[in-house]
Structure 1
Amino acid sequence: MEKHSEITLPGGGTTVLHGTRAAGDDAPVALLLPAMGVPAGYYGPFVDELARAGVSAAVADYPGQGESRPRSGRGRDLGYDALAHAWLPAVVHELRREHPGPVVAIGHSLGGHVLAAHLSADEADVDAVVLIGSGTPYWRDQQGIKTLVQTQFIGLVSRALGYWPGTRFGFGGTQSKTLMVEWAAFGRTGRLAPGGRDIAPGLAHRDLPLLVVDLDNDTLAPPSAVDGLVAMFAGADVDRCAFAKQPDDLGKPVDHYSFARSPEIIGERIATWALDRVSERRPSA
């Protein structure tokens, strides 16, 4: 995976687009949206595997994360809207400038939420979606009262401090207050409503190919939570599969994060699906 370009983001700041090109300019290009607090560089093996399987792939850090600047912290705030309607369009614009083929957006965990928010609006600009280990944080879909307490604690701390010091608590990295408050509200109500606008009505009418990948041993996105997020994509043409290492595979079982570091098989499956299902450059209305 190599550095492709530095992108100036709306409202200031920069991020870096990294990627690996596959042979064939007309093939789809995959854009990976990271999980919360996970730097873009972590996905290098996965991006490279997609390219080996025939699909050019790229990834960029969210504002405030990884190589983007400035870094997150007190006084630097953003929410889902900034990711879905400013950061993502800027990255897709740069990716389309470099690649003429259709864009398949791959949302890992939080990345799936960002894609859902993006696709709920009229200016949505991706051609297909893959969700990997991405589900709602809604407590009824997760671990019940335990999840409710955890998500609301994060929301309260974020409000009190003006940011979420996730590196201290071992979850999510340093994040903006509004993002974590909106995420906590999603966990409490089951509704993703950035700025008070419920994304569900707009997302329900979005007709596009959607591949959903369940990860074995994923305690952060169990099947019930994935079901909850997939239900919001009511108009999508959904394919779904589960990914687990076979008994003779080396290493630890697949979980919420480890798939990206040993992407054999899963990368090929996603690339095959993209090559088979995605044929139009522009998103459907």
Structure 2
Amino acid sequence: MNGDSEYAQEFVDVDGGRLGVQVYPEPEGPAGAPVVVIWPAMGVRARYYRPFAAALRAAGLAVIVADLRGTGASTPAPSRADRHGYAELAGDVGTVLAALKSRLDGRTALLLGHSLGGQATVLHLALHGDTTVDGLALVAVGIPHWRSYPGVRGLALLAYTQGIAATTALLGIWPGWGFGGRQARGVIRDWAYTARSGRFPNLDGTDTEAAVRAVRTPVLAVSVDDDQYTPHPSMDHLCAKLTAAPVTRERYTVAQAGAALDHFTWVRAATALARRIARFASDLPPR
């Protein structure tokens, strides 16, 4: 057990490396509480979500947080030899769920994605049709399509995202200069494509957009006030792709949080949000 953070650090082997997985103690109350598996934003370590994990546990949910490939406790760190992209991130979700099978069997299982982690969870469900997942919560997630941003801001976003993509292609890696942490070229390539086109790229020969339209897992989609990276319209753009899924679309406001919010700081003011997610989990139909 990690004494500082009150979680057990575990690892799951994948593609010659390993994914860090933080398992928090069971919440107080009856055994068999719903389990939430959190997937972080680009470049954000799993340990950043400790306040959110505490709020979720207080709301009666068991919590597990995975580090994205190449971030935090996950190894190896991205290098020029590493070309993984969205297909691998989506596959990692399934790899971790398979490793957690004994903990999830007989319990409500909820994926929760933040930003890039949310895209990875959607793509996992789309590409792999996971029937072990009962629900999906998306918080501060979106398709950062430049046309979803008003006026000059949209044009600036297009230039910014494609500039990062061009730099990454030249260097063979994104060094993390002021955005997103160190990232493999494939992640930046696929992310920049979504910003340019408003679509997910085809992955492993699959029409990903069609696969996303076929997802039927219930979704709670929550955008956050004053989110500088994925404002409300970018979440709407993503939700519009989930045509077969029952989607509950909500906003997390400054008034609800009782604190200032943005793309990252909602994690530290998530008591009300955690309770909403717990209600969503309890209302999910039996698998």
Q: TM-score, normalised by structure 1?
A: 0.90
Residue 118 of structure 1: CA displacement?
A: 1.1
Q: Please say if residues 164 and 180 of structure 1, whose CA atoms lie closer than 8 Å, have aligned partners that are also in contact.
A: yes
| Residues 29 and 154 of structure 1, relative CA distance in 2, 3 Å threshold | same
Cα distance in structure 2, aligned partners of 1:153 and 1:216: 27
Q: Does 1:6 align with 2:11?
A: yes
Q: Does 1:41 align with 2:50?
A: no
Q: Does 1:88 align with 2:96?
A: no
Amino acid of the structure 2 residue aligned with 1:140: R
1:25-58 deviations in Å (ceiling 9; x for gaps): 4332111110000000000111121111111111
Cα distance in structure 2, aligned partners of 1:129 and 1:230: 12
Q: Does 1:17 align with 2:21?
A: yes
Residue 260 of structure 1 corresponds to 267
Residue 272 of structure 1 corresponds to 279
Amino acid of the structure 1 residue aligned with 2:18: T
3-state SS, counterpart of residue 221 of structure 2: strand
Amino acid of the structure 2 residue aligned with 1:262: A
Cα distance in structure 1, aligned partners of 2:270 and 2:178: 25
1:135-189 deviations in Å (ceiling 9; x for gaps): 10111113321111011111111111111111xx210000000110111111111
Residue 4 of structure 1: CA displacement?
A: 4.7
Q: 2:166 aligns with which of 140, 144, 156?
A: 156
Amino acid of the structure 1 residue aligned with 2:119: H
List alignment gaps of at least 5 residues for structure 2. 1-5
Residue 71 of structure 2 corresponds to 65
Q: Please say if residues 132 and 213 of structure 1, whose CA atoms lie closer than 8 Å, have aligned partners that are also in contact.
A: yes
List alignment gaps of at least 5 residues for structure 1. 281-285
Residue 132 of structure 1 corresponds to 139
Cα distance in structure 1, aligned partners of 2:109 and 2:85: 24
1:75-130 deviations in Å (ceiling 9; x for gaps): 22210001102x11111112222233122111101112112211212442522111
Q: TM-score, normalised by structure 2?
A: 0.90
3-state SS, counterpart of residue 74 of structure 1: coil
Residue 237 of structure 1 corresponds to 246
Residue 188 of structure 1 corresponds to 196
The number of residue pairs the alignment matches comes to 274
1:14-35 deviations in Å (ceiling 9; x for gaps): 1221132224443321111100
Residue 200 of structure 1: CA displacement?
A: 1.3
| Residues 151 and 126 of structure 1, relative CA distance in 2, 3 Å threshold | same
Cα distance in structure 2, aligned partners of 1:8 and 1:243: 35
Cα distance in structure 2, aligned partners of 1:165 and 1:198: 30
Cα distance in structure 2, aligned partners of 1:8 and 1:235: 33
Q: Please say if residues 138 and 221 of structure 2, whose CA atoms lie closer than 8 Å, have aligned partners that are also in contact.
A: yes
> CA RMSD for the aligned pairs?
1.8
Q: Please say if residues 81 and 194 of structure 1, whose CA atoms lie closer than 8 Å, have aligned partners that are also in contact.
A: no
Amino acid of the structure 2 residue aligned with 1:63: R
Q: Please say if residues 13 and 68 of structure 1, whose CA atoms lie closer than 8 Å, have aligned partners that are also in contact.
A: yes
Cα distance in structure 1, aligned partners of 2:269 and 2:257: 14
| Residues 248 and 51 of structure 1, relative CA distance in 2, 3 Å threshold | closer
Residue 247 of structure 1: CA displacement?
A: 8.7
